[in-house]
A and B are shown apart, each in its own frame.
Chain A
């Protein structure tokens, strides 16, 4: 078939997110007694996962567009492997993004093709007129099988775009092709993704044929910039050669983060949205490939800081990466949270924790946090409140770095008291090692995983020293 269909919608803004850790591939090779290994992959820190990355990318896209979150029609999230195999992935993400309580949501999952699936599903919602603004998020944090070739390739990252009928970049032709074959695989009882095919069999009979078919079906000229899938660090270049002398722009994100799975197609061209011209994003996974053309007429808001948001990160050893991925676990018991995830406290308090809500006293304006344990104002004793979202920026009033805690806590753990921009105060964890903290330093709050408690992820907000890009992009003057 391979006849393109039209996908008339537009990109309003873009945001990306990278995890905080970088693992040199040579470290993985050395861990298994092998020489060599080029490049690096991104790894989630202990407080990061596919949901926290999705939140950060989405928040950046929303802020870059300058649209109030409650006006967004819904969120379409593509993620190979969301944090809850079954569970409240979408309601947690919607709550943390402060979307309207009746907003739409859909989770596309099961393979790295899920990011493209989310984009197309969201575009359909816009085209049909059902929503005027749709949030697309694609994120992944892959867990490669130990000792497999995937360890040298599997990265993590997230990308988000806001779609509407009109915008600085238009979605154009789309072609999809499928073939009933395996590529990467993880069964229902397996925790790690593994490869099933011989490398050459996969390349010649699975990957290249599908990708070439969809890629060559779209009209392109020599100036067209391409985002190509690159599951192993070499296939992308081979695909580019097979498609002719094309201009590939996705290698920058690929070499920074590794294979970001569902996020890869859009992440690969995120920076290119800053320059007018034609783009093609090609997504692959689960026996499917899709190519999508995008025409940029003017720089997409958020695109100018893409490179900044993807670069950096702290280099870690293979051992630390394994620990952060949960593949290296200390023996012995860990200290359980006093409040089990199944307790009523989480039913009462989950929304206010995820959306970072406070209770502002109607009498004296003191903000009481968290609301559900404050029936009476700590400022004046009044009992009537307005529930408000707390600002995600503030400065450090005081802090410590806790070095002494039982497992599952990992030191160093900064703990801070923050003065938020609206004058309210909260205590929270810090997301760095604490060495960059001082009294008065401006910080931003990010959604982080506070615990994996009895197997259930618990999310809250952690502070990071604010960067220049976050000040300009996250806080537009309008």
Chain B
């Protein structure tokens, strides 16, 4: 791990997901089964289910969202793999991406050769008021009272706008771009384009963010198959390798941030991932980053090193992060358009990059130059946890 990357001990040889959305007609278990089926069918040279040696299930909120059980034992049963070792991973908004990292480590350790990582989240079985919005009453009775999800990020928008002159139009450019991409992604929750004027005219959710600055509440499931790099060719001729990853934490209260201009956890996690992969941000062909709100993507592209701190708004408004831009970001539509079923989100981002690196992304395909792509999530109380995974199509 300390040697120059890429790490490349683990390959992604299968990836599949269901269309995200308000899936009132599907149970948690049915969504999991759909993702597993898609993943299995994506393995070029075929997968016998008995080859799966272990599973990691990414579900953030367990029974709170109304599903029947938390995934550690319900998902193997639901997808026909009952008996297989299975562990549920929870790590706030990066739950899916951290399950991916843990799965990769399980393979790299040599304990398992074939691991399924599956993210499943039911966000809409309960009403919005009883679901994610109920977060406003969670945590400390005073210091986090009223802290619904936008409150984790909107204060950064207020300060970023004050400090750097970032405008609401710049924030809106993120939503417009991601909806444009979502309209070209058959798996996205929202597949419609929007305009800057529509974003600016949307009702205020949490100042300075309006409704279209915010990702929806989405049900979804996504799964990837990880194998040891040595055995990748048994499953596909075009594997994608895990080049590196990084995880970082920060203090949980909003008043404990170093500043309100960026997210320390993202900076630390990405620095670790770049080091492990042996690359710098300029070598990335594209990235899927955590855009739960428009401001989050602005902070991300600065914190991940795609542009200078303070210039994210202009960078985005100039189209640099569009599919044809210098650094395409969230070609899948991102959380803003594709949706944010928390446990599935990180896995679905990996899947988009898997398609991009295998040149299977259709109208969203970016030009591959260096063969590297980055996946990023950040969240939790005080946005105090971030996970970054870097993928590559380059064999070591």
Contact = CB atoms under 8 A, between A and B. Distances in A.
Interface of A: 335-339, 345-346, 349, 353, 369-370, 373, 378, 397-407, 409, 413, 415, 417-418, 425-429, 434, 439, 450-451, 453, 458, 460-461
B311 to A, nearest CB: 20
Contacts of B148: 402, 404-405
Return the 6 tightest CB-CB contacts between A and B, nearest first.
Answer: A460-B142, A406-B129, A400-B154, A398-B159, A427-B255, A338-B138
A392 to B, nearest CB: 15
Given A406-B129, A417-B254, A338 B137 contact: yes
B150 A406 contact: no
Contacts of B205: 403-404
B253 interface: yes
Contact of A409 (B136, B162, B251): B136
Contact of B162 (A345, A406, A439, A458): A439
A413 B136 CA distance: 11
Contact of B143 (A338, A405, A413, A427): A427
Interface size, B (range): 35 or more
Contacts of A346: 141
B159 A439 contact: yes
Contact of B159 (A336, A397, A404, A427): A397
B255 A413 contact: no
A247 B260 CA distance: 57
Contact of A402 (B143, B146, B256): B146
Interface string B202-238: 0111111100000000000000000000000000000
A450 B145 contact: yes
A378 B258 CA distance: 11
Given A401-B206, A450-B141, A378 B130 contact: no
Given A335-B129, A378-B251, A409-B136, A400 B158 contact: yes
A338 B255 contact: no
Contacts of B158: 398-400, 439
Contact of B133 (A378, A397, A405, A413): A405
Interface in B242-295: 251, 253-257, 260
Contacts of A461: 142
Contact of A403 (B156, B157, B159, B204): B204
Contact of A406 (B133, B144, B257): B133
B126 to A, nearest CB: 11
Contacts of A336: 137
Contacts of B260: 397-398, 417
Nearest to A426: B255
B341 to A, nearest CB: 20
Nearest to B253: A427
A461 B137 CA distance: 17
Contacts of B203: 403
B141 A339 contact: yes
Given A402-B148, A434-B207, A458-B141, A335 B136 contact: yes
A64 B169 CA distance: 48
B142 A353 contact: yes
Contacts of B129: 335, 406-407
A429 B206 contact: no
Contacts of A397: 159, 260
Nearest to A346: B141
A450 B142 contact: yes
Contacts of A427: 143-144, 253-255
B139 interface: yes
A133 to B, nearest CB: 30
B134 interface: yes
Interface string B100-134: 00000000000000000000000000001110011
B145 A406 contact: no
A349 B130 CA distance: 27
B155 interface: yes
B255 A404 contact: no
Contacts of A370: 140, 142-143
A336 B366 CA distance: 47
B151 interface: yes
Interface string B179-214: 000000000000000000000000111111100000
A335 B137 CA distance: 7
A413 B154 CA distance: 13
B151 A415 contact: yes
Q: Which of A404, A434, A458 has the most CB of B within 10 A?
A: A404
Given A400-B158, A405-B133, A405-B148, A451 B206 contact: no
Contacts of A439: 158-159, 162
Contact of A415 (B134, B147, B204, B253): B147
16 contacts: A336-B137, A337-B145, A349-B141, A353-B141, A398-B156, A400-B150, A400-B208, A402-B150, A402-B206, A406-B128, A406-B129, A413-B146, A417-B260, A427-B144, A450-B142, A461-B142
A439 B155 CA distance: 10
A401 B133 CA distance: 15
B133 A460 contact: no
Nearest to A333: B130
A413 B145 CA distance: 10
B207 A429 contact: no
A406 B143 contact: no
Contact of A404 (B142, B156, B206): B206
A369 B255 contact: yes
Contacts of B139: 338
B155 A451 contact: no
Q: Which of A346, A418, A427 has the most CB of B within 10 A?
A: A427
Given A335-B136, A399-B158, A417-B260, 20 more contacts: A338-B138, A345-B141, A346-B141, A353-B141, A370-B140, A398-B156, A400-B151, A400-B157, A401-B207, A402-B136, A402-B150, A405-B146, A406-B130, A406-B133, A406-B137, A415-B147, A425-B255, A428-B142, A429-B145, A458-B141
B12 to A, nearest CB: 37
A353 B205 CA distance: 28
Contact of A337 (B137, B147, B154, B254): B137
A415 B156 contact: no
Contacts of A338: 137-139
Nearest to B211: A404
B258 to A, nearest CB: 10
Nearest to A419: B255
A413 B147 CA distance: 10
Contacts of A407: 129
B141 A426 contact: no
Contacts of A453: 141
Contacts of B150: 400, 402, 404
Contacts of A378: 251, 256
Given A378-B251, A397-B260, A406 B134 contact: yes
